[in-house]
Amino acid sequence: MAHISDQELIARSRSSARYVINHPQVAFVGLAAVLAWGIFGYASMPQRKDPDIPVRQCMIVTPWPGVEAARVEQLITRKIEHQVGLNARIDEIKSISRNGLSVVYGEVQEKGRFDVLKEFDDLKIKLDGIRDLPDGAGPIYFVKDFGDTAALMLTVASPRAGADEVASRAAEIRKAIEEARRGLPGGRAAVVLAHPAGMDPEILRRPAEMLRLSWVERNVGEGIQILQGSGFIALDLTTTRSEQDLRDELLSYAEENIRSDQVHPDLWVPIIVRNPEDTERLLASVAGDRYSYREMDNFTDVIERQLKLIALVSKVERVGVLDERVYLTYSQNRLAAYGLSPGAFLQALRQRNVTAAGGEVNSGGRNIAIIPAGEFRSVDELGSVAVGTAPGGAPIYIRDVAGIQREYESPAQYLNSYTRRTEGGGWVSTRAITLSVQMRKGEQIGIFGKQVDARIDQVKRLLPADLVLARTSDQPRQVTENIDLFMSSLWEAIVLVVVVSWLGFWSWRSAILMALAIPITLGLTFGMTYVLGIDLQQVSIASLIIALGLLVDVPVVSGDAIERAMGHGHERPVAAWLGPKKLFTTMMYATLTNIVAYLPFLMLTGDTGKFMYSLPIVITCSLIAAQIVAMTFVPLISRYLLKPKTVAPMELQRTTGYGKWYWRIGSWGIAHRKLCALASLSVLVVGFLFLKQLPQQFFPKDLQYLSYVDVWLPEDAPLETTAHASRKAERIIREVSEEYGREHKKQGGVLKSLTTFVGGGGPRFWLSATPEARQPNYAQIVVEVEDKHDTNHLVGPWQIALMAGVPEARIDVRQLETGKPIGIPVQIRLMGDDIPTLRAEAERLKAVFRKVPFALRIRDDWGIDSMQTVFTLDQDRASAAGVTARDLEASTAAAIDGFPVTTYREGDKQLQVMARLRMDERNVLTRLDDLYVYSSQDPRRVPLRQIATVEHRFEPARLRRFNQFLTRTVSCFPAPGRLPSEVLVAASADIEQFRSTLAPGVRMEIAGEHKEQVNGFVELTAVLAVSVLLIYVALVVQFKSAIKPVLVFAAIPYGMTGAVVSLWLMDAPFGFMAFLGVVSLVGVIVSHIIVLFDFIEEQREHGAPLEQALLDAGIQRLRPVMITVAATVLALFPLASHGGPLWEPLCYAQIGGLSIATFITLGLVPVLYAIAVRDLKWISWSHQEEEQVTVASETTQEV
């Protein structure tokens, strides 16, 4: 590498630095343009919390009501999996077959560039080609927007009934009780049920009459009478029973005669009134929700339509809406008395309730539409439809054989509630409906949030003032907070860098130069990243902080060179461009080295690659920007700002200050170079030992206000049982949070709200929070705390308390994840074809994990078997009775669950009309044998007991498959304070023993975090290899030598050792981000050594002896290296402090690695260079070197 003299450069050089000095007005205009571009880019960049990672998963749902899981798996799931597997882009196929339902998930492969939506459209076409589903199965619902994530989750909740409403209703109840008791003896009690005033009174009239008859029979009381008014129904009786006895009697009757999931959801808790004067007090203690589900539906419909008017909103969906139905409740005995079957409802209503167009006629030059008036205009009209003819010829109307009620879907399939703190400090939980609001891609989420706020403020005028509207997942707030936090970290880092520059150079002028150069560089960076389509999110901002120390290096070197040029007597205009020009090649290669160290991160594939995509792009842009600024605006500013720097002769620098100590230590090291080299190997051994001690982790949990709780009950649990378990879980979460708040003296409480979804998962409010499909045995509780730093401390106590307090449920407290969604962290899949074999092998594997003391919540994903009732049809008797197996299936389903007969339309709403048995017959069928089976061919009917036998047996109620094989996954969670990798390491020997003894036909595969971590580390290793190779090629070109780059790389392992030790000291796991930090150290270390080697080469060209060249170069580079390293390290401190658990390991790795690498660069590299020259003879030096060794040694002694 030849160095041209200053005179030659001044005479011949043409460079950008010289141009801006000679044309300052052009340069200042360019500077203003760069700053304007940067401001525009920053203001226009789309904003989000995390990089946009499209979810590559779709969901296919196929119902087959009343069919067991095994048949669903064989006849539905396998067909759909086969069609999904025909798409070559589908990487994983997962399925769940449950009683009556098949759910298949298709996941498009991570690697490769293709349109996910196009692949989903191809799947839809293939699924539409399925024509051989069994009778009664389907339709196939294809959900391709399964991965859409809500930018905002708005929960609308009803308040409790207010004091005025309670007082008004209590007055009416009291009046009714007092009038009913007038003239009757004392000792009476009234069991009162309050309900919304608009509720159909007939819904409760018959159950109340049945209860009255039951209590008369059981001698619960005397003179029992039913009282009914607007908003209540009551049984008033004379009784000697206590209030608790009456409650027990009421509960006992409900359990025997009324399914809990069919209790009307608008009913308040019953009260028992003895003294009418206590009515208001008692009613206030059980006051229910003020607004009914119907009213909540109307309110949220208004909100939904208003939010859809916002341009930035792409989609709004509501969950928790309780659909209404019109029920025709019949008695099978009454139908039999008229010679009718339930199918008569279907035939009659379909003929009457028509919506077909009647055509058009032309009259008087106008087209007039003919509209048949066949639709029902009111629910009451249903009763006027004739379903048959009596023996005397009179028509039989529906109202003659069936009750007609408009009520909510019963049993409910999905419910939503919202729990929050009251003004008095207590807690209240009420019904809710949650709106999932999604933002259009490429927009600024902050603007989106403001527009939603403005629209909500407007729509509140159309809603009741006491309606609760809460943001239960608020990404605009989270993104704004995150960006503000990261930007503050960036500005803190800039301040630290400027302070380091001032202290290092001990010059306010140099500090101001840095303070001006950094914003200019950032402006240029923002402009470039905006053009490249990078979003403003945590990865891109953190990349700027990481790059800050790197981009400072070039302006520091440039400014130092300008000061040295001034010190050597050059005029300011000349020195301002001459200094950077002399070091242009060196700075360019240093910049190139850092770029090729980070740019290979673009090789990362899949979701991890998409998550980290902006990091190499932003860092590359910032390094290019720094190089441009160092060769343009730094010279421009330096011309007016910097002053000549007095440069002491090297002879003086060797004998004074830090140069004296560096020369003395360096001379000793070169003299004892072999000993130093061998001793340095101990550092690598220490690093290897520390690496063995570090636990491994893929990605850490996110630091957020939100977490969620999965509540699983056995597969056969009804929704009401699940709701009861979730209410217990809510209470425990509140109690544990209150206790934590008292222990930590948290003012205002710790817990903010609980949003509960029963019967399925809520909207996807976080990329990694995959919602569960609708199923009655599952509930999700979204937990929001006041301070996000408390989440990590509360998860463990919540989990322990919930496991003890809700033993009937399987409960998992889950933190939100960063990076790719993992789910349960420790998973091992067992795949095969035989269900009993898989069950046995899963039990053996669970026993392996039970040996690990810190492996908790060990389970498999099939759960326990459920009891099933099987009807075995006697074909001969059935044929004689004129019924078939299909008739049997249709009759049992119709009687128990009901069947649709038509649709009632009211405005834009469509209510399904269902026919089903009356509650008293539906719920007191102590023997299914009493059920009638109706023939589809003629009016005949036959009791079930005459044609079939009933058998009860236990069968798997849930079957899972993976990539078209039955798969039973055994999983567990690590104990609080432990990592998933530690669980697998502790069980690894037993797992391998288990693998070796697997039953024939069973395969084992480790999934979960381990699988993703192995894949991620393999890719990072490839990135490291490519980075090293590219840097090596660049160094070979720069040094014109294949040996010198090897010396450069010799310092890298020592930097990695520093990173490992730093991680160990900070108790941080070695995960993906830590590995990324270690990989990125390569470029930083090499760039410092490049400049050092450049000074060595310059000394060599001037004929300096080896030792003098090595140590003089070190003295000249000592301060710039220390300044840039200190700037880089200190710039990482704000990110480590505020960036959260995602960035901490990377920062710790780089801080430790750079700190150690600095001493290696300045201390060990000269020693290794001397070994390469003197001992290994890899690098030749001038023949005069040996003659001058003695002179150098004498100089050392004088020092």
CB 77 within 8 A of CB 961: yes
pLDDT of residue 458: 93
CB 512 within 8 A of CB 641: yes
DSSP state of 47: B
Q: Angle of helix 1189-1198 relative to helix 1106-1138, nearest 10 degrees?
A: 60
Model confidence band, residue 106 (pLDDT cutoffs 50, 70, 90): very high
Question: Which residues in 31-137 belong to E strands, given as ranges?
Answer: 57-63, 90-98, 101-108
pLDDT digits (tens, 9 = 90+) for 163-185: 888 898 899 999 999 999 988 88
pLDDT at 155 over 90: yes
pLDDT at 307 over 90: yes
Q: For 84, how many CA atoms within 13 A lie in the half-sphere containing its CB?
A: 31
CB 943 within 8 A of CB 954: no
Computed over every residue of the chain, the mean pLDDT equals: 84
Which H or E element spans position 438? strand 427-439
Residue 164: strand, helix, or coil: helix
Residue 307: strand, helix, or coil: helix
pLDDT at 306 over 90: yes
CB 956 within 8 A of CB 92: no
Report the alpha-carbon angle 380-384-385, nearest 5.
Answer: 120
pLDDT of residue 780: 96
pLDDT digits (tens, 9 = 90+) for 852-871: 999 999 999 888 888 777 77
DSSP state of 1041: -
pLDDT of residue 797: 93
pLDDT of residue 1194: 41
| Strand 271-273 to 1003-1007 pairing | unpaired
pLDDT digits (tens, 9 = 90+) for 585-623: 777 887 888 888 888 888 888 888 888 889 899 999 998
Domains along the chain? 1-44+507-647 (1.20.1640.10), 57-146 (3.30.70.1430), 163-285 (3.30.70)
pLDDT at 384 over 90: no
pLDDT of residue 707: 93
Cβ-count burial 393-416 (b if 16+ within 10 Å, e if not):
eeebbbeebbbbbbbbbbbbbbbb
pLDDT of residue 735: 93
CB 508 within 8 A of CB 491: no
Q: For 779, how many CA atoms within 13 A lie in the half-sphere containing its CB?
A: 30
Dig out the tokens for 1107 from the structure. Answer: 């030792």
Q: Which of 907, 708, 1125, 901 is nearest to 301 (CA)?
A: 907
pLDDT digits (tens, 9 = 90+) for 330-348: 888 888 788 888 878 888 8
| Strand 866-873 to 948-955 pairing | antiparallel
pLDDT of residue 849: 94
pLDDT of residue 261: 60
Higher pLDDT, 1140 or 689: 689
DSSP state of 52: -
pLDDT at 844 over 90: yes
pLDDT of residue 551: 73
How many CB atoms neighbour CB 896 within 10 A?
Answer: 15
| % the chain with pLDDT above 90 | 28
CA distances from 539 to 145, 536, 542, 617, 701 (A): 25, 8, 5, 11, 15
Q: Which of 487, 375, 467 is nearest to 43 (CA)?
A: 487
pLDDT at 81 over 70: yes
pLDDT of residue 1199: 38
pLDDT digits (tens, 9 = 90+) for 1070-1084: 888 888 888 778 877
Higher pLDDT, 1050 or 310: 310
pLDDT digits (tens, 9 = 90+) for 433-470: 999 999 988 888 888 999 999 999 999 999 999 999 99
pLDDT at 1189 over 50: no
Distance CA 502, CA 496 (A): 10
Distance CA 561, CA 652 (A): 20
pLDDT at 672 over 50: yes
pLDDT of residue 175: 92
pLDDT of residue 1078: 84
pLDDT at 1195 over 60: no
| Residue 427: Cβ-neighbour burial (10 angstroms; 0-12, 13-18, 19+) | middle
Highest mean predicted confidence (pLDDT) among 812-816, 866-870, 893-897: 812-816
CA distances from 583 to 187, 559, 623 (A): 104, 11, 16
pLDDT at 875 over 90: no
Q: For 359, how many CA atoms within 13 A lie in the half-sphere containing its CB?
A: 2
Torsion of CA 1141, 1146, 1150, 1153, to 10 degrees: 100
Q: Which of 1086, 1055, 1056 is nearest to 1070 (CA)?
A: 1056
pLDDT of residue 321: 92
Question: Which residues in 135-280 belong to E strands, given as ranges?
Answer: 141-143, 152-157, 188-194, 222-229, 232-238, 271-273
pLDDT at 880 over 90: no
* Residues in contact with 620: Cβ distance below 8 Å, sequence separation at least 6, in sequence order: 595, 598, 599
